Amino acid sequence: MGAHWIHGPSPGNPVFRLATRYGLLGPEAAQEENQEVDLGGHPPLPSLTYGSSGKALSPEAVSEAHDLFHSLLASARAFQGAKEVPVPSVGQYLRAEIARRVPTLGGGEEDARKLRLAILATYLKLECCVSGTHSMDLVALEPFGEYVTLPGLDCTFPGGYSSLPDRMLSALPEGTVLLNKAVRTIRWRGSFREEGDEVRDFPVRVECEDGDAFLADHVIVTVPLGFLKERHQDFFQPPLPERKAEAIRRLGFGTNNKIFLEFERPFWEPEQWLLQAVWEDESPLEEPSADLEANWFKKLMGFVVLQPPEQHGHVLCGFIAGKESEYMETLSDAEVLGTMTRVLRTLTGNPQLPAPRSVLRSRWHSAPYTRGSYSYVAVGSSGDDIDVLAQPLPEDPEDPRPLQLLFAGEATHRTFYSTAHGALLSGWREAERLNQLFDAPGPAPRL
């Protein structure tokens, strides 16, 4: 329901290194040639692209639009560090370039132009999933190139992504990790004592919803940015400094959801791995419909085929981002299944296509402790906000009780935000801060 791929499975990726060390990956992932493939963080060409007229689109037309879109994305990254940018957002830049590069044509060529624009509209939806945003108009142009992609052909865990944290947890003493222990408030800059302990006090007290409390010298906070946006004012006492609160407000955090559809038997070919969807009346140069009820499903960029079928059965996984994705969360399973059946019958041109036997979807926006999926650098923010979010508190380096609150999680990694490897590295970064502190002369504080 959460992380799907190892993005950039190569030696520079700590998730890949751990997964390899634990023997959690299939044999193809270990192949050196796969580790050297550099796709710039995007999936390769789809196996099949369906149009809303019910026919597969020409691979040449799809390939041409794919190459154009990715060359425009690359040029959008080139504004990193520029003193001036032509427009504030990636979306505005891409649209202006598409308008310039896809000229208005007459006659029969107008149909080819319309199709090209419709395919480009699908690539914009895919980019919204990659960036975890409702619209690329919300993503800032100048810092866009700061995000770093790693080489390697994206791969999955045969045993599911949770096989990695499960393996990491197995090394810890029993009872170290408490689950289903919701935190209500983190009180810091205080002077808290355990009952009967007259010797020392603690600067931090973590209070849980069930009434339990934990005293600590240091707390590493890894809650998602979506939760911080909604709750930081009452979650921390005293409240966070204004500079950090501003960074939380400015950075972007959006929703990307999965819709799994299980079929009795596949309607796709065994070698197909990505079925892309194109609504042929759409164009990136026109405003999309704001009527979510009527059109939410059109934001779906298509479906990934879960491999291997011997393990998963015949399952498609659709990806959908933004407000449409959040609207989908409000619908019943039956409504989502009915809509997906209609969509697939439209795309395949087969009104008799059997309905999926079951549906399963994520609801990351509704989840109270996430309120979305992952972060992006929004218009009006920059990588500096990520660094401010990552700064430990209190801010005064001379404070006698340093590093009371440390911050980790994907939204605190300046170049790998939105990824599992960024989250992992941010946790190691904060652990290392504490290591450095404990190596300093003086009595070691209790964790």
pLDDT tens-digit readout, 198-248: 789 999 999 999 999 999 999 999 999 999 999 999 999 999 999 999 999
- The answer as to whether 204 is a domain residue is no
Q: How many domains does the chain have?
A: 1
How far from 141 is each of 138, 183, 209, 230, 281, CA to CA, in Å?
Answer: 9, 36, 41, 26, 28
Q: Measured between alpha carbons, how far is 332 from 157 in angstroms, rounded to an integer?
A: 30
- The answer as to whether 199 is a domain residue is no
Q: pLDDT tens for residues 382-397? A: 999 999 999 999 999 8
Q: How confident is the model at residue 417 (pLDDT cuts 50, 70, 90)?
A: very high
The dihedral over CA atoms of 180, 426, 372, 185, expressed in degrees to the nearest 10, equals 50
- The answer as to whether 210 is a domain residue is no
* Residue 36: Cβ-neighbour burial (10 angstroms; 0-12, 13-18, 19+): exposed
For range 287-315, the mean pLDDT = 94
Q: What's the mean per-residue pLDDT of the chain?
A: 94
Q: Measured between alpha carbons, how far is 223 from 217 in angstroms, rounded to an integer?
A: 19
- The answer as to whether 173 is a domain residue is no
**pLDDT surpasses 50 at 447:** no
Of all residues in the chain, the percent with pLDDT exceeding 70 is 97
Lowest mean pLDDT among 13-17, 59-63, 186-190, 397-401: 397-401
Q: Is the backbone of residue 317 left (phi > 0), alpha (psi -120 to 50) or beta? A: beta
Q: Measured between alpha carbons, how far is 80 from 82 in angstroms, rounded to an integer?
A: 6
DSSP symbols for 380-447: T--HHHHHHHH--BSS-TT-SS--SEEE-SGGG-TTTTTSHHHHHHHHHHHHHHHHHHHHSSSPPPP-
Q: How confident is the model at residue 321 (pLDDT cuts 50, 70, 90)?
A: very high
Domain boundaries, position 115 = 1-168+218-447
* Residue 35: Cβ-neighbour burial (10 angstroms; 0-12, 13-18, 19+): buried
Sign, Cα dihedral of 415, 1, 4, 320 = negative
HEC profile of 223-267: CCHHHHHHHHHHHEECCCCHHHHHHHHHCEEECEEEEEEEECCCC
Phi and psi at residue 288, in whole multiples of 5°? -70, 160
DSSP symbols for 37-59: ---TTS----SEEEETTSSBPPH
For helices 90-101 and 109-131, the axis angle rounded to 10 degrees is 160
Q: pLDDT tens for residues 243-296? A: 999 999 999 999 999 999 999 999 999 999 999 999 999 999 999 889 999 999
Residue 123, pLDDT score: 97
- The answer as to whether 188 is a domain residue is no
The dihedral over CA atoms of 111, 112, 118, 120, expressed in degrees to the nearest 10, equals -160
**Cα 38–chain centre separation:** 20
**pLDDT surpasses 70 at 177:** yes
CATH number at residue 229: 3.50.50.60
Task: Count CA atoms within 13 Å of residue 132 on its CB side.
Answer: 24
Residue 39, pLDDT score: 81
What's this model's pTM, rounded to 2 decimal places?
0.95
Residue 78, pLDDT score: 97
Lowest mean pLDDT among 4-18, 109-123, 359-373, 433-447: 433-447
Give the type of residue at 245.
A
Task: Count CA atoms within 13 Å of residue 139 on its CB side.
Answer: 27
Q: How confident is the model at residue 441 (pLDDT cuts 50, 70, 90)?
A: low
Residue 105, pLDDT score: 58
Q: pLDDT tens for residues 21-68? A: 999 999 888 888 989 888 877 777 788 999 999 999 999 999 999 999
- The answer as to whether 424 is a domain residue is yes
Of all residues in the chain, the percent with pLDDT exceeding 90 is 88
- The answer as to whether 264 is a domain residue is yes
Residue 90, pLDDT score: 98
The dihedral over CA atoms of 133, 137, 140, 142, expressed in degrees to the nearest 10, equals 140
- The answer as to whether 93 is a domain residue is yes
